Each structure stands twice: as structure tokens, then as C-alpha cells.
């Protein structure tokens, strides 16, 4: 599946996480389960926010990891793809660096699939940000005091909507997987869902964009399940 030599790259978002190990141990566990006998020649830990337009230049540990990969002809392994980047341009730049890389939480994903995942992750991040700003603006117009608890409550509401969307995709998965087994295109899937009078997530008719969101959630859930099963088997 990948070369005998591997370099692990871990990223945490704050200095506090870097010192405490929050999030780091989970990434290390995921990578170790994924290696399956491959030689780990080096490990790098990055502590930074991930913000900024030129993220690759702001990640010296990632640059060092890529350099080792090139010299050792090794594969770069990350514990979670979203720890690496949710920025399409960044993932594209990484691909152009000429180093093979794998995400332990998406073991079957090739470079094209990883780039598609980054597109969806970046889109979802932007959508969440836009919805949050719109909700805050609407609440402010109603005279709601947006103190610390106001933001917490709004975050909780967003998390509940994300959970509902995951449950909707899970319930629809058997139908969608059946369409896939038949070799239906996304356009034909949309037509079939509408003919069967299966309502979209928010009711009404299906569109291709709505289907793509559900497909992304189904694929993400399947990959997470596969990774968890592999980790359990190796425990």
C-alpha cells in the first residue's frame, strides 16, 4: 500500500496542546496502528494555529518532515487529514512537493480522494463560519446580548445540526450504496431519490449538491469505521 519507510507528522493547534499532549496521543496511536510493520524513520510535531495564507511556509516541522521523506524515499503519514489541512491550496502544494503521503484515518484514499476531501472540508468550514456570522448578526439585531454564553449556545446549536446531518446520512446510506452498486451517476441518483419521493435533508427535492454533501458524510463515516476496526483488531 505504501513504502517500507515512513515519516510521521503530528500537528496540534495550540501551545497548550503541545505541552499537555492533548490530541497528540490520539494521532500517534492512529499512525502506529496504520504502520502495520513499516519502518518509522522519524517523527515530527508541529505546534501552530494553521491560520494564514501561506501555511506551508509557517510549518517548519512539516518542511523538515518532507525533507526527510525525500532523502529517505519515505512516505509521510499523518494521523488525521484534518490535522494536516482543510485548505485545498495547501493540500495541492503538498502534492506538488513530490512526496507520497497517507492519512491514517483514510487508509484507502489516494491523492485524488484526499484532495476531494479537502475541498469538502474547506467548503463545510466556510459554510459553518458563514452560518455562525449570520446567526450572530440576526441575534444582535433582535437585541440579544452576545456574551460568552451566547457564543457557547450558538456553538452547541451548530454541533446539534452537524449531528443531525450525520444521522440523516447514516439512515440514507443503504439506499445510496445500493445506487452505487448499480453504477448510477450522481445525476441519476438525484433523479431516483426524487422519483422515490425521499425528501432531502431539509425537505423538498434533491439537488446534486445536496447529494454530494450526503455522499461525503457517508464516505467519511465508513472510513472512520474502517480505521476503528483496524485499530481494534491490532489492539
Q: Residue 120 domain-assigned? A: no
**Mean pLDDT over residues 204-224, rounded?**
86
The whole-number pLDDT of residue 94 equals: 72
Question: Same domain, yes or no, for 103 and 185?
Answer: no
Q: Residue 211 domain-assigned? A: yes
Question: Same domain, yes or no, for 158 and 96?
Answer: no
Question: Same domain, yes or no, for 161 and 93?
Answer: no
* pTM of this structure: 0.49
Q: Residue 200 domain-assigned? A: yes
Q: What is the pLDDT of residues 149-183, one digit of tens each?
A: 555 565 666 777 788 888 888 888 888 888 888 88
Residue 204 DSSP class: S
pLDDT above 70 covers a percentage of the chain that reads 66
Total domains, the chain: 2
Q: Residue 88 domain-assigned? A: yes
Question: Same domain, yes or no, for 99 and 160?
Answer: no
**Mean pLDDT over residues 23-28, rounded?**
82
The whole-number pLDDT of residue 7 equals: 93
Whether the pLDDT of residue 15 is over 50: the answer is no
> Which of 60, 92, 109 represents a domain boundary (last residue)?
109
Question: Same domain, yes or no, for 19 and 96?
Answer: yes
- Characterize the bridge pairing of strands 75-78 and 39-47: unpaired
Question: Same domain, yes or no, for 95 and 154?
Answer: no
Question: Same domain, yes or no, for 167 and 93?
Answer: no
**Whole-angstrom Cα distance, residue 226 to residue 108?**
9
**Whole-angstrom Cα distance, residue 103 to residue 117?**
11
Between residues 215 and 126, which one has the greater pLDDT?
A: 215
Whether the pLDDT of residue 107 is over 50: the answer is yes
Question: Same domain, yes or no, for 161 and 85?
Answer: no
Please, where are the H alpha helices in the chain? 15-20, 24-35, 60-72, 81-84, 88-96, 111-141, 148-181, 186-195, 208-234
Determine the distance from the C-alpha atom of residue 31 to the mean position of all C-alpha atoms in its chain, rounded to a whole number: 16
Domain boundaries, position 210 = 147-234
Average pLDDT score, the chain: 76
The whole-number pLDDT of residue 71 equals: 92
Q: Residue 21 domain-assigned? A: yes
Please give the span between the terminal C-alpha atoms of the chain, in angstroms, as a whole number: 21
**Whole-angstrom Cα distance, residue 53 to residue 34?**
31
DSSP 54-67: -TTTT-HHHHHHHH
How many other C-beta atoms lie within 10 A of the C-beta of residue 85?
24
Q: Residue 178 domain-assigned? A: yes
Question: Same domain, yes or no, for 175 and 85?
Answer: no
Q: Residue 142 domain-assigned? A: no
pLDDT band at 43 (very low <50, low <70, confident <90, very high): very high
- The residue count of the chain comes to 235
The whole-number pLDDT of residue 12 equals: 79
> Which of 54, 85, 109 represents a domain boundary (last residue)?
109
Question: Same domain, yes or no, for 159 and 217?
Answer: yes
The whole-number pLDDT of residue 8 equals: 93
- Look at the block and give the residue holding cell 449556545: 153
**Whole-angstrom Cα distance, residue 61 to residue 67?**
10
The whole-number pLDDT of residue 16 equals: 47
**Whole-angstrom Cα distance, residue 194 to residue 137?**
35
- Look at the block and give the residue holding cell 425521499: 198
CATH code for the domain of 21: 3.40.50.1390
**Whole-angstrom Cα distance, residue 40 to residue 68?**
11
How many Cα atoms are found within 13 Å in the side-chain-facing hemisphere of 187? 0
Amino acid at each position: 500500500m505504501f513504502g517500507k519507510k515512513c515519516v510521521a507528522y503530528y500537528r496540534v493547534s495550540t501551545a497548550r496542546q503541545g505541552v499537555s499532549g492533548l490530541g497528540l496521543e490520539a494521532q500517534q496511536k492512529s499512525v502506529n496502528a496504520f504502520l502495520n510493520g513499516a519502518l518509522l524513520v522519524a517523527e515530527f510535531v508541529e505546534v501552530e494555529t494553521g491560520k494564514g495564507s501561506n501555511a506551508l511556509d509557517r510549518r517548519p516541522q512539516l518542511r523538515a518532515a518532507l525533507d526527510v521523506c525525500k532523502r529517505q524515499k519515505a512516505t509521510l503519514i499523518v494521523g488525521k487529514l484534518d490535522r494536516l489541512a482543510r485548505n485545498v491550496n495547501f493540500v495541492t502544494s503538498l502534492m506538488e512537493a513530490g512526496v507520497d503521503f497517507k492519512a491514517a484515518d483514510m487508509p484507502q484514499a489516494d491523492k485524488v480522494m484526499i484532495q476531494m476531501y479537502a475541498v469538502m472540508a474547506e467548503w463545510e468550514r466556510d459554510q459553518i463560519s458563514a452560518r455562525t456570522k449570520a446567526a450572530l448578526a440576526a441575534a444582535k439585531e433582535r437585541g440579544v446580548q452576545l456574551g460568552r454564553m451566547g457564543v457557547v449556545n450558538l456553538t452547541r446549536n451548530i454541533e446539534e445540526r452537524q449531528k443531525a446531518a450525520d444521522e440523516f446520512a447514516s439512515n440514507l446510506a443503504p439506499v445510496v450504496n445500493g445506487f452505487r452498486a448499480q453504477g448510477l451517476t450522481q445525476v441519476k441518483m438525484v433523479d431516483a431519490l426524487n422519483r422515490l419521493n425521499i425528501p432531502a435533508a431539509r425537505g423538498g427535492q434533491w439537488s446534486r449538491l445536496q447529494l454530494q454533501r450526503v455522499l461525503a458524510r457517508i464516505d467519511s463515516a465508513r472510513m472512520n469505521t474502517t480505521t476503528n476496526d483496524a485499530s481494534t483488531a491490532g489492539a
